Amino acid sequence: MPDSPLMSAAAVALITLAIAAVVGVGIKVLRSFRDLGTDAERATYTTLHAASRAGQHLRAGLSPVGAAKASKQLRDLLACDALAITDTATVLAWDGGHEELRPLLMKLATAVLATGRATVLPAGKVDMLGSGGTAVAPPLVIAPIRAGSRVVGVVAVANTTAGVGLVRATGEVADWVATQVELAELDASRILLMEAEVRALRAQISPHFIYNSLNAIASFITTDPERARELVVEFADFTRYSFRRHGDFTTLAEELRCIDRYLLLERARFGDRVQVHLQIAPEVLSTVIPFLSLQPLVENAVRHGLEAKEGAGHISITARDDGAYAEVRIEDDGVGIDPEHLASVLAGHSDGDHVGLRNVDVRLRQVYGDDHGLVIETAPGEGTLMILRVPKSQPGNAV
């Protein structure tokens, strides 16, 4: 059955609207690009945009996947026939033509990798690695990728012509890639440092707490065997959490469970001398925080605040929702800390007491920035208040 004139008119109207929408979007994009102003401003934008996109792919360092994605952006940036990125052993990526030269590149780059000096190979025939054949190679610019004092790879550019401008631009691109590699190595070093800090905390927990806990458990074996068994279970759960090998992060709820076990074991030793008050907002329990960032603060309150105090001591643990942050306060009415000594501890100039505070402060600053370290208010004989504020939006960390 043929379409009615009304249906045909409606179809034409819909198609017309669709075309107008597409044209409108195109005009909007073109106008936004023209809004950049002069040709020089547009060229600057194009260059920075390509570098930004390539940088995203090199954030993990030199890898085949990242180099393959970045090489396309960098070839467009240099407007060359082909661009390759290598490490010291193999060609990681090749974008563009002249693929027949890919198996030869590591041999051609030997001198650059050894000396760290860029080279320009003129056009000519090259031996196909003993196969008996030859290939006609275009001019080839090879520039080293230096990370510190090491040459970690090269950027190679093949083009019909290789003038001074292309040679310099290739060197700049290689230096830029080197910067991305160094940033990736710094990020890896930061992660290793955090892991080392956690291992240091575990080493601190081991000798002091384990010895005292086992002594407390032993004291109940003959007088109250049932309680001794319960304490053994709590001790096992605490050590399993504290010495786990996976994850640099945990949730506030898990850290509080760890603290509960810790305080249960300490109360077995101190009895009613340790009084604890908790006020926890349920909405912050799922907040992700660095692993073992609260337990050392509570241990500091018990070990250095209340243990040296005569009579009963009180610890208050408060966690509340503060807009974009979860705020945790740990306060004790113990003997306090001399502010000058505390400043020395946090600066890393004092060994021994309160090293857990320094450890937690450093890790908070590593993860969230210098504005998110521990806030500590204390004075001799006045107790200690420790405040930790953690952003709810996490920096890409998984539990």
Q: Which two tokens stand for residue 245?
A: 């090998």
Taking residues 140-154, report their average pLDDT. 90
Averaged pLDDT of the chain: 79
pLDDT (tens digit per residue) in 37-60: 666 655 555 656 556 666 676 777
Do residues 209 and 201 lie in contact, with contact meaning Cβ atoms separated by under 8 Å?
A: no
Burial class of residue 90 (count of CB atoms within 10 Å of its CB; 0-12, 13-18, 19+): exposed
User: Which DSSP category does 302 fall into?
Assistant: I
Length of the chain (residues): 399
If we measure between CA atoms, which residue out of 329, 345, 331 comes closest to residue 389?
329
Helices 355-368 + 164-205 axis angle, to 10: 150
C-alpha Rg value of the chain to the nearest Å: 32
What pLDDT, on the 0 to 100 scale, is given for residue 35? Answer: 55
What pLDDT, on the 0 to 100 scale, is given for residue 28? Answer: 44
Got the DSSP string for 74-124?
Answer: HHHHHT-SEEEEE-SSSEEEEEES-GGGGGGHHHHTHHHHHH---EEEPSE
pLDDT exceeds cutoff 70 at 5 = no
Contacts of 246 (CB under 8 A, 6+ apart): none
How far is the first Cα of the chain from the last one, in angstroms, to the nearest whole number?
Answer: 63
What pLDDT, on the 0 to 100 scale, is given for residue 240? Answer: 79
Which one has a higher pLDDT value, 8 or 277?
277
CB atoms near residue 19 (< 10 Å): 10
pLDDT exceeds cutoff 80 at 246 = no
Query: What value, to the nearest 5°, has the Cα angle with vertex 354 and ends 352 and 356?
Result: 105
Which one has a higher pLDDT value, 289 or 63?
289
What pLDDT, on the 0 to 100 scale, is given for residue 276? Answer: 92
Query: 352 falls in which pLDDT band (50, 70, 90)?
Result: low
Taking residues 347-354, report their average pLDDT. 67
Residue 381 phi, psi (nearest 5): 80, 0
What pLDDT, on the 0 to 100 scale, is given for residue 22? Answer: 40
pLDDT exceeds cutoff 70 at 72 = yes
pLDDT (tens digit per residue) in 154-190: 999 999 888 888 999 888 888 888 888 888 777 666 6
What pLDDT, on the 0 to 100 scale, is given for residue 109? Answer: 92
What pLDDT, on the 0 to 100 scale, is given for residue 11? Answer: 42
Which one has a higher pLDDT value, 348 or 328?
328
Of 198-212, 235-249, 326-340, which one has max mean pLDDT? 326-340
| CA atoms of 381 and 377, how far apart (whole Å) | 12
| CA atoms of 201 and 296, how far apart (whole Å) | 8
Instruction: Compute CA distances 388 → 3, 83, 280, 298, 373, whole Å.
Output: 71, 49, 14, 12, 7
What pLDDT, on the 0 to 100 scale, is given for residue 1? Answer: 45
What pLDDT, on the 0 to 100 scale, is given for residue 43? Answer: 56
pLDDT (tens digit per residue) in 191-229: 556 556 555 555 555 466 677 788 888 888 888 889 889
**No. of H helices and E strands in the chain?**
12, 14
What pLDDT, on the 0 to 100 scale, is given for residue 134? Answer: 65
